Chain A
Amino acid sequence: MLPANAFDFSLTDLEEMARKLRRHVVSMIATAGSGHPGGSLSAAEIVTALYFKVMYHNSKDPRWPNRDRFILSKGHAAPILYAALAESGYFPIEELKTLRKLDSRLQGHTDMNVTPGVEMSAGSLGMGLSFAIGVALAARLDAKTHRTYVLLGDGECNEGQIWEAAMSAAHFKLDNVTAIIDYNSIQLTGWTKNIMQLEPLREKWQAFGWHVIEIDGHDFNQILSSLDKAREIKTRPTIILAHTIKGKGVSFMENKASFHGKAPSPEETERALNELA
């Protein structure tokens, strides 16, 4: 049941695609003059692995009922999703330049009614895991085998709704949900450990009834094997704590809270694109 254009990239191709998506992210945000580069760059490998290797999806039929779903809960990382959707053929790559502009289909935060391939409207944090539960419950009612992937931010786990959802996904025994935390350890104003301590995070999710896998979120081998493993876990959901670096791939953005929600200057953009060449 593989749709015609499902991707099955090699490791080398995945590496190259992640770099390409990062370039798109930097260019898009620079052109827009605003946006959130840090949390898009940290998620590049995770999103690349899903769209170009793991998920069954079809850009020619974005609402294909049997598609795997990718729910971006941390809606401010919209640029990395838009880049992946454009490279997957959901809309022209040229359109990435319109990010955040009037009449663009690429809104500042995701809008499911506007952008082909976007599954959920997000922007107010904490809602995506719950939404994914609804999608997964519907799949189970309809005896469908597609999977629902949901990407959460680590700072997002400050929101109480995440823990309501964590409790209920396990309660409903949703083994067709895989959550991934882009654990870049930085939120808007600084290190997560200083703003709101998340640790011990593995133990929290375990206590809530989840199967937990911890990986390096920039290592494709680890990403792919953890997603494979998640498919095998039955009667409970799996969460992958993907340790990442905020701003990854652009030296002066790495581990900098200041690039959570700031566009690079023209000079910085040139430097960033050179580093990502």
Chain B
Amino acid sequence: MEELAPREVYGKSLIALGRQNPDIVVLDADLSPSTMTHYFASEFPQRFFDCGLAEQNMISIAAGLAASGKIPFVSTFAVFAACRCFDQVRICLSQTKLNVKIVASHGGISVGEDGISHQAIEDLALYCALPGFTVIVPADAMETAEAIKAVADTHGPVYVRLGRPKVPAVYFESCSFAIGKSVTLREGKDVTIIATGIMVARALEASNYLAEQGVECRVINMSTINPLDEQAIISASLETGALVVAEEHIAHGGLGSRVAMASSKVKPVPMEYVNLGERYGASGKSSELLQRYGLTDKEIAKAAKKAIERKKQLS
């Protein structure tokens, strides 16, 4: 299957949703050809509002639209959606629970050449810090399409992080997505790799590599980070006794922190983390950056072996 950019799928999904539901409106901040909201804008110009380079204004406008019964989808780059307008998101969306969907593109360091100002690596921590805010990072194009449909059908504020580049497919024929439900992509008893976003495909690669060495990995796609599928994490802790969490994000506040908290409630187990640590990225090609910062299948496999080793030492 050819690689697709999730944001492209998002743009096409919006048109379908717009045809089904006249209350869906879209807001963008002068980035519609990049966030792919321009498809919607061409078909529904009356329901598309370009707010210019004014993200704070855009978020509060979306809140006003939602307060009047509209379902606003708001798009810009993830750095701006998370950092530029956090107070507006907190006051106007999180505290009100208004029905606004923020779908941010260009998340993570895989943005590439634009460099650290444009690489959102704190966005999951920020959005997960907001009580009741749904946070989703789809693993591939097909899951993006399903996730966008699901968030349109669910009331309340949502943050969806998409990336810039095309990504390898995780799902080929079908994908069943439900908010707050993880998907176990591979069963295994030795260790569980819990991944989100672009790291899911890498986790599967790592599991193949480990299988050749006789290691049976469970692989979980945790595309919803909040609300978290705690049951799947607890089961993984109890049944495999070792966890690896992989995400394109800083070490704290994202999936790793949340999985550790959930796991420790029942049975703490050795955990390893594959993430950016405490570092910003740099300019470079997407693939070069992922390599440089260790967001690779090889690093996940290494972490899995280390987690298994620690498990053995405990027993």
Q: Which residues of A contact B (CB under 8 A)?
A: 111-113, 119-124, 126-128, 130-139, 141-142, 160-161, 164-165, 167-168, 171-172
Question: Is B283 on the interface with A (CB-CB < 8 A)?
Answer: no
CB distance from B45 to the nearest CB of A (A): 12
Question: Is B56 on the interface with A (CB-CB < 8 A)?
Answer: yes
Chain B's interface: helix, strand, loop or mixed, by majority? helix
Check if B62 sits within 8 Å of A112, measured CB to CB: no
Query: With A and B bound together, what is the CA distance between A130 and B62 in angstroms?
Result: 9
The verdict on A141 contacting B60 (CB below 8 Å), with A127-B88, A134-B66, A135-B67 known, is no
Check if A138 sits within 8 Å of B70, measured CB to CB: yes
Q: List 5 A-B contacts (CB under 8 A).
A: A134-B72, A137-B61, A141-B70, A164-B52, A172-B49
Check if A123 sits within 8 Å of B57, measured CB to CB: no
Q: Which of B57, B66, B96 contacts A130 (CB 8 A)?
A: B57
Question: Is B47 on the interface with A (CB-CB < 8 A)?
Answer: yes
Q: Which of B58, B59, B96 contacts A121 (CB 8 A)?
A: B96
Query: With A and B bound together, what is the CA distance between A178 and B92 in angstroms?
Result: 21
Taking CB atoms, residues of chain A closer than 8 Å to B46 are 141
CB distance from A135 to the nearest CB of B (A): 4
Check if B64 sits within 8 Å of A132, measured CB to CB: yes
The verdict on A113 contacting B96 (CB below 8 Å), with A130-B60, A133-B64 known, is yes
Check if A161 sits within 8 Å of B88, measured CB to CB: yes
Please provide the chain B residues from 86 to 101 with a CB less than 8 Å away from any CB of chain A in the complex. Answer: 87-88, 90-92, 95-97
Shortest Cβ distance from B94 into A: residue: A121
Query: With A and B bound together, what is the CA distance between A119 and B64 in angstroms?
Result: 9
Query: With A and B bound together, what is the CA distance between A69 and B60 in angstroms?
Result: 16
Check if A121 sits within 8 Å of B69, measured CB to CB: no
Check if B67 sits within 8 Å of A131, measured CB to CB: yes
CB-CB contacts of B66-88 with A at 8 A, as 1s and 0s? 11111010000000000000011
Shortest Cβ distance from B46 into A: residue: A141
Shortest Cβ distance from A161 into B: residue: B56
B-side interface size class:
20 to 34
Taking CB atoms, residues of chain B closer than 8 Å to A127 are 56, 60, 88, 91-92
CB distance from A120 to the nearest CB of B (A): 7
Taking CB atoms, residues of chain B closer than 8 Å to A126 are 56
Taking CB atoms, residues of chain B closer than 8 Å to A122 are 91
Interface centre among B67, B90, B97 (most CB of A within 10 A): B67
Please provide the chain B residues from 28 to 57 with a CB less than 8 Å away from any CB of chain A in the complex. Answer: 46-47, 49, 51-52, 54, 56-57
Query: With A and B bound together, what is the CA distance between A167 and B30 in angstroms?
Result: 15
Query: With A and B bound together, what is the CA distance between A113 and B157 in angstroms?
Result: 15
Q: Which of A124, A137, A142 contacts B64 (CB 8 A)?
A: A137
The verdict on A168 contacting B63 (CB below 8 Å), with A121-B92, A127-B88, A127-B92 known, is no
Taking CB atoms, residues of chain A closer than 8 Å to B63 are 120, 130-131, 134
Check if B49 sits within 8 Å of A137, measured CB to CB: yes
Q: Which of A123, A134, A141 contacts B62 (CB 8 A)?
A: A134
Query: With A and B bound together, what is the CA distance between A138 and B60 in angstroms?
Result: 13
The verdict on A168 contacting B64 (CB below 8 Å), with A121-B91, A137-B49, A141-B70 known, is no
Interface centre among B57, B59, B62 (most CB of A within 10 A): B57
CB distance from B224 to the nearest CB of A (A): 24
Interface centre among A127, A132, A165, A172 (most CB of B within 10 A): A127
Question: Is B130 on the interface with A (CB-CB < 8 A)?
Answer: no
Check if B68 sits within 8 Å of A161, measured CB to CB: no
Question: Is B65 on the interface with A (CB-CB < 8 A)?
Answer: yes
CB distance from A114 to the nearest CB of B (A): 10
CB distance from A129 to the nearest CB of B (A): 8
The verdict on A168 contacting B67 (CB below 8 Å), with A124-B87, A127-B91 known, is no
Question: Is B151 on the interface with A (CB-CB < 8 A)?
Answer: no
